[in-house]
Amino acid sequence: MHISYHGHSIVKIKTGNHMILIDPFIKGNKLTDLIVENEKPDIILLTHGHNDHVGDTVELAKANDALVIAPNELAVYLGWQGLRTHGMNLGGSKEFEFGTVKFTQAFHSSSYTTDDNEIIYTGMPAGILFTAEGKTIYHAGDTAIFGDMEMIGRQHSIDVAFLPIGDNFTMGPEDAAQAVKLINPKLTIPVHFNTFPPIEQDPQVFKELVTDHEVKIMEAGDSFEI
């Protein structure tokens, strides 16, 4: 499995036969190295409906006939835009051809703001557990720290966790460091920081706070194999 990070909360996962994009916020993301027209995802996974996570999903999905998997209300809304979608909800899991997707709780909000300033309710925010090729990836989405992270870590042997550290809207470095202890992943990668002024953070501070787990700070375009 090939994993790469692309700024803000964008994660790309390449398995033997599929390319999965999580939260593909590309246009308007000053930190990303991606160009929408160059991306060819089979699958798009969305944690919640905020514009900086839905991002370019509509354009990408239409161009590539990608299946969009998202919290149910968000999936319904995107289905109305002509996309091929599969709605899920918190605690639910489903085995697909490309791997297993399970939505976990996340403590945040979830809505999509249209170009004419209408706010669309998009269901509950979520984290995503993605399992394929014997590996489990946890993308926490946007969230505060919560005690049931410990249960998520007990129930699933997590190889890589992507945790937000930006503060203001999500966990900051201190809470995210405590979350690592609860989740107990083999590797943690900080995300959702430095894209906008309210979430400017030094990821090295987070890394130094995590004293008993491995942390990898990634720049946009960095990748690794597991």
Residue 206 confidence (pLDDT): 98
pLDDT at 79: 98
Q: The domain 2-218: what is its CATH number?
A: 3.60.15.10
Q: What is the pLDDT of residue 88?
A: 98
pTM: 0.98
**12: nearest Cα among 55, 74, 71:** 55
72-80 vs 57-64: helix crossing angle, rounded to 10? 60
Instruction: Count CB neighbours of 154 within 10 A.
Output: 12
State the Cα torsion 15-20-25-27 to the nearest 10°: 80
Please state the domain extents for the chain.
2-218
Residue with tokens 């835009």: 81
Q: What are phi and psi of 183, to 5 degrees?
A: -80, -35
Helix, strand, or coil here: 203?
Answer: helix
- Per residue of the chain (226 residues), give pLDDT as tens: 999 999 999 999 999 999 999 999 999 999 999 999 999 999 999 999 999 999 999 999 999 999 999 999 999 999 999 999 999 999 999 999 999 999 999 999 999 999 999 999 999 999 999 999 999 999 999 999 999 999 999 999 999 999 999 999 999 999 999 999 999 999 999 999 999 999 999 999 999 999 999 999 999 999 999 9
Distance in angstroms (rounded) separating the CA atoms of residues 172 and 167: 4
CA distances from 73 to 84, 112, 118, 207 (A): 14, 11, 16, 35
Q: Is the dihedral of CA 165, 170, 172, 173 positive or negative?
A: negative
Give the pLDDT confidence score for residue 28 in this predicted structure. Answer: 97
Give the whole-angstrom CA distance, residue 54 versus residue 197.
20
Find out whether 185 and 138 touch, Cβ atoms under 8 Å: yes
